Amino acid sequence: MPIRPEERARYPKDWPMVSWHIRFERAAGQCECLGECGHDHGGRCAARHGEPHPVTGSKVVLTTAHRDHTPEHCAYDNLFAACQRCHLAYDADRHRENAARTRAARRRAGLT
């Protein structure tokens, strides 16, 4: 997923290098998702950078995802290479959580 402008400042200066290392050295150009995204792709996702996606057929552009969704946390074990499909699905979980939190807060505040 592209980095939103308001989040760009939260990434470390060497993020492009860190991200490159994760995607092309550690992951060797293949999505590292083992099902964290919620899709069952039978083990590691087979999507490879620059090749047609095994499910969607569109060209894969690997991204680097944060397991805890926190851009400042760039320890290698908090990062994994993810194809668009896995990254979107993985982040969608967070969006659902945020929405649930917002709803709960609104309820507590008596707004709904």
Out of 22, 27, 45, 79, the only residue in the binding site for Zn ion (CB under 5 A) is 45
In degrees to the nearest 10, what's the CA dihedral of 16, 66, 25, 33?
-140
Residue 84, amino acid: Q
Q: What is the CA radius of gyration of the chain?
A: 16
Helix residue spans in the chain (DSSP H)? 5-8, 15-20, 84-108
Nearer to Zn ion, 22 or 45 (CB): 45
Nearer to Zn ion, 18 or 55 (CB): 55
Nearer to Zn ion, 27 or 31 (CB): 31
Neighbours of 86 (CB within 10 A): 28
Residue 31, amino acid: C
Nearer to Zn ion, 34 or 105 (CB): 34
* Minimum distance of Zn ion from residue 68's CB (angstroms): 17
Site string for Zn ion, 46-65 (x = CB under 5 A): -x------------------
* Minimum distance of Zn ion from residue 59's CB (angstroms): 13
> Distance between CA 16 and CA 33 in Å, rounded?
20
Instruction: Kindly list the residues in this chain that would bind Zn ion in the complex (CB under 5 A).
Output: 31, 33, 37, 39, 45, 47, 83, 86
